[in-house]
Amino acid sequence: MSRDFVLNSLTLSVVTPMYNEREAVDHFVARLRPVLDGLGVTYEVVAVDDGSRDETVERLLELREDWSELRVVKLRRNVGHQSALAAGLKSARGEYVVSIDADLQDPPETIGDMLAKARSENLDVVYGVRSDRSTDTSFKRNTAGVYYWLMRKLVGPHLSDQAGDFRLMSRVVVDTLNDLQEQQPVYRLVVPSLGFASGEVTYVRAERVAGETKYPLTKMIKLSVDSVTSFSAAPLRVATWLGLVTFMVCLGLVVSGIAAWGFGVTVPGWTSLYIAVLLLGAVQLICLGLLGEYVGRIYAATQNRPKFLVAFDTDEQEPMSTKPEAVSIEAAAVPTQLATHR
């Protein structure tokens, strides 16, 4: 069987970014494999190791010894969930691609429903929509509530507030995403904005099977800032409005100052000066910060550095049709395997 034939006949790619998921990976594989084997389609699982510092890669390579459909793409360093997803989408070869987290919060059993729906209704995107998030912490639910409210204002009302990164996409959608020039794509916003024919399947969000969340507050804030700035220049307008409001206030102060001078009541005036200086300084700093967010992004875009670097990809080592040997990290990470993606 030629390699091309094998590649072109892949129906499904399951892309999973993994960061320090050593504790979850066995559970994940044990639950995912029977589901995919039961679908009766050709598939690959693209496990993208996002620069884990635990033994995630080593364990994946062991598991791959008796699951040749498991493909391991190791990134050189931690680039974050969305960029790791970008690496997986770039590597995936399936006619349909499903992205799913490694912690089993999204049930793999739903993949079958997504595929069936996409095929029967001829859809390009099928979103996994959470019908119940009660297993998430109330902090996560509340912050997610604010996030989706804001994003719907910016991206449009069609954005489902319960759709995360568990979704199925057809080849044409994945190719479109791979061609995006964006430095920090937030896929859960970009995909709905493209306007492909889409449907939904609902599922109940489970608890993380093992380990801790890999999304601390700092990463949540980064995702939110990326989301807002990649979809809207509205914050720049906030700066303009703030400037206008303070300008009006200052005009009033100027008038009252002149009047006070005219009436000869020009007392030391420390308080008013103090407040004016503080207020203006603060507003200017806010506006500078907002501008900086966008300038920083323009800077990153002109540098055009790769979003991620692949250290190795087990499927670039040998054709898929042969039973792979275990790939040692050292042997796999030869310089010729270095792939750069923008």
Q: Which of 10, 14, 15, 21 binds ligand UDP (CB under 6 A)?
A: 21
> What CA–CA distance (Å, rounded) separates 76 from 50?
8
**Which one, of 82, 71, 86, 88, lies nearest residue 36 by Cα?**
71
Site for Mg ion contains 106 (CB under 5 A): no
**Region near Mg ion per CB under 5 A, out of 35-43, 51-59, 102-110, 263-271:** 102-110
**Region near Mg ion per CB under 5 A, out of 98-106, 171-179, 283-291, 310-318:** 98-106
Q: Which of 87, 92, 97, 102 binds ligand UDP (CB under 6 A)?
A: 102
Collapsing DSSP to helix, strand or coil, 340 comes out as strand
Site for ligand UDP contains 214 (CB under 6 A): yes
11 φ, ψ to 5°? -85, -40
* 17: partner contacted, choices ligand UDP, Mg ion, none (Cβ within 5-8 A by kind): ligand UDP
Minimum CB–partner distance for residue 209 and ligand UDP (Å): 10
209 close to 137: Cβ distance less than 8 angstroms: no
Q: Which of 215, 224, 276, 286 binds ligand UDP (CB under 6 A)?
A: 215
97 close to 187: Cβ distance less than 8 angstroms: no
Site for ligand UDP contains 213 (CB under 6 A): yes
Name the burial class of residue 221, with classes exposed (0-12), middle (13-18) and buried (19+) by CB atoms within 10 angstroms of its CB. Answer: exposed
**Region near Mg ion per CB under 5 A, out of 10-18, 101-109, 190-198, 271-279:** 101-109
* Angle ∠(68,70,73) on CA atoms, nearest 5: 125
Contact footprint for ligand UDP (CB under 6 A): 17-19, 21, 50, 78, 80-81, 84, 101-103, 105, 213-215
